[in-house]
């Protein structure tokens, strides 16, 4: 499916995440125009120039930008990456207060300049900020949402693909809930190709021996509950590990952000676990959490009511309570 003609992606923030997203959007040809904004005029001018120098190799895309907020005018999608940087050992929720105040000032100005845009938050804590941005913008939740656990789910799928030895495109698994310490894998709905993970677990290690309709591949070993817990913990702490080693996460979040943009600009109807303000989703309302959502040109077309196990329901309610406590502290509830 082709990109909407004359589509424009505006990125607010020319830091590590914003520039990686701009680069990913250019090489993936996510939009016809990529506009980059930042208050640091020298930095944003240099980033725009560096990106523009490579546009010979990126198809028909063009790059604009600067320190004047008017560069976002007329954008179809605005991705907000600006905010306080997460430091080693710092939780996403600890950054909430500073970034909420940034959005309080920023959102009305962005809506004024791009009144028809879909707004995507890629700043942490993304679930708290999705609520804040939606409130400050006055727009419906369908048009203001966070990148949520799209990247976390990609991390999970990569780990599972490495574990079972199949292509990552054939692993179907999601992280839901908070993008943070209370997130969790939706194991009950995970699949390897057409095979449920529960059935995959039952496959015996001897090649050619079938159980529950599944034939084990040579050398395969079923998952254990301890391994599930280890994988979930590794996904949850992946960002902290990257930040400890290099100071920031940027490449993977840039790619996942570009993927969300494409789902909007190409009117795909893609199912992605983005974070939006929920209304009576499995009993949860008023907080933004990541659940499978249909993304098209209007933003979130609908959230999908996915079956949860009893344990997953309890974890989801815990995640909601965690976010609600933060919202209460910030006066956003």
Closest CA to 35 of 253, 126, 47: 47
Rounded to an integer, what distance in angstroms lies between the CA atom of residue 331 and that of residue 274?
23
Residue with tokens 């991390």: 155
179 in catalytic set: yes
How is residue 139 written in tokens? 């727009």
Distance from C-alpha of 102 to C-alpha of 93, rounded to nearest angstrom: 15
Instruction: Using DSSP, state whether 175 is helix, strand or coil.
Output: strand
CA distances from 263 to 4, 224, 255, 296 (A): 11, 35, 13, 6
Helix (H) or strand (E) holding 108, with range, is helix 96-113
d(C-alpha 51, C-alpha 112), whole Å: 27
Q: Is the Cβ–Cβ distance between 117 and 144 less than 8 Å?
A: no
Q: Are 313 and 282 in contact (CB under 8 A)?
A: yes
DSSP string covering 43-103, please? HHHHHHHHHHTTGGGSTT-EEEEESSGGGGTT-SEEEE--SPPPPTT--SGGGHHHHHHHH
Catalytic residue among 87, 172, 179, 318: 179
Cβ atoms 148, 295 nearer than 8 A: no
Any idea which residues carry the catalytic annotation? 179
């Amino acid at each position: 499916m082709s990109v909407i003609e004359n589509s424009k992606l505006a990125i607010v923030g020319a830091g590590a995440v914003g520039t990686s997203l701009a680069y990913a959007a250019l090489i993936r040809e996510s939009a016809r125009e990529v506009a980059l904004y930042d208050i640091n005029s020298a930095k944003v001018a240099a980033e725009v120039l560096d990106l523009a120098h490579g546009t010979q190799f990126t198809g028909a895309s063009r790059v604009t930008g600067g320190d004047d907020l008017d560069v976002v005018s007329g954008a179809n999608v605005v991705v907000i990456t600006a905010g306080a940087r997460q430091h080693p050992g710092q939780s996403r929720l600890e950054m909430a207060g500073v970034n909420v105040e940034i959005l309080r000032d920023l959102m009305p100005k962005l809506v004024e300049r791009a009144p028809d845009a879909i707004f995507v938050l890629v700043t942490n804590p993304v679930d708290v900020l999705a609520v804040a941005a939606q409130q400050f913008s006055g727009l419906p939740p369908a048009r203001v949402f966070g990148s949520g656990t799209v990247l976390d789910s990609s991390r999970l799928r990569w780990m599972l693909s490495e574990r079972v030895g199949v292509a990552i495109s054939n692993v179907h698994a999601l992280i839901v809930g908070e993008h943070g310490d209370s997130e969790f894998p939706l194991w009950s709905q995970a699949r390897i190709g057409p095979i449920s993970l529960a059935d995959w677990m039952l496959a015996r290690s001897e090649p050619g021996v079938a159980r529950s309709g599944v034939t084990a591949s040579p050398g395969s070993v079923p998952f254990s509950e301890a391994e599930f817990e280890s994988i979930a913990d590794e996904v949850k702490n992946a960002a902290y590990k990257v930040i400890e080693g290099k100071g920031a996460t940027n490449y993977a979040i840039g790619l996942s952000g570009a993927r969300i943009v494409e789902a909007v600009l190409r009117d795909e109807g893609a199912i992605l676990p983005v974070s939006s303000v929920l209304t009576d989703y499995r009993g949860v309302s008023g907080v933004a959490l990541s659940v499978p959502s249909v993304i098209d040109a209007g933003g979130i077309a609908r959230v999908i009511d996915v079956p949860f196990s009893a344990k997953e329901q309890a974890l989801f309610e815990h995640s909601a309570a965690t976010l609600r406590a933060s919202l209460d502290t910030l006066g956003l509830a």
